[in-house]
Structure 1
């Protein structure tokens, strides 16, 4: 992969991380407990997809940084008192669970190898 392609892949992963983080923050609080599960599954798909798209752990890191930036940004709230996270159990499960999923995906040292059909000598 060329350097320009790698940069484009990582830029797209950061943007996708921000979008999945924002959508997850809104969905997890709106449709409890199904929304929480959906938000965590979307995060896991993003992190694993980043691993596959970038071909390594840097893809998980860039998508995870976008996700974390979005979650932290909506977690601060506004001066008027509008908040997305109010400190409930579901909010903590979403934030800590998302970070745990990113760490799990980042601990893959390499991508799993695809194996073809087994030959007679491989058995």
Structure 2
């Protein structure tokens, strides 16, 4: 079942689920990429790519990737702000920039993929 087979309400429910999934993967990736550098960075980028590609396959359009990517980006931006006391999740190294720019690049790649053929068609 692809995005074109879904009703309007079910499609919006998918987008909401993908938005939350993007937030969760962005948050987990932010924690993992710094904790186990460089393997954690690769793991975080692979997880982000899996969510973006899965969103593309599940919905069949770019809006699914945009929903997951928006949730991912919101989580990353909010975690990068830090607190007034000076505590921040990102330490300001090359790993954080690779995670941010690499994740955005993977989201754009998944969003601009050509339409995939349906199995058995």
Return the TM-score normalized by structure 1: 0.90
RMSD: 1.2
Which SS does the other structure have where 1:84 is aligned?
coil
Q: What is the CA-CA distance between 1:84 and the residue it aligns to?
A: 1.1
The answer on whether the counterparts of 1:57 and 1:109 sit within 8 Å (CA) in structure 2 is: no
Could you report, residue by residue, the CA deviation over 1:8-43 in whole angstroms, capped at 9, with x for unpaired residues? 100000000000000000000000111000000000
Q: Structure 2: which 5+ residue stretches go unaligned?
A: 1-5
Structure 2 partner of 1:108: 113
What is the aligned partner in structure 2 of residue 72 from structure 1?
Answer: 77
Give the aligned length.
116
Distance (whole Å) between structure 2 residues aligned to residue 62 and residue 101 of structure 1: 14
Note the residue ranges of structure 1 that are not aligned, 5 or more in a row. Answer: 117-123
Q: 1:31 to 1:113 in 2, by over 3 A?
A: same
Match of 2:31 in 1: 26
Structure having the higher Rg: 1
Matches within 5 A, 1:27-46: 27-46=32-51
**CA–CA distance in 2 between the matches of 1:111 and 1:98?**
22
TM-score normalised by L of structure 2: 0.91
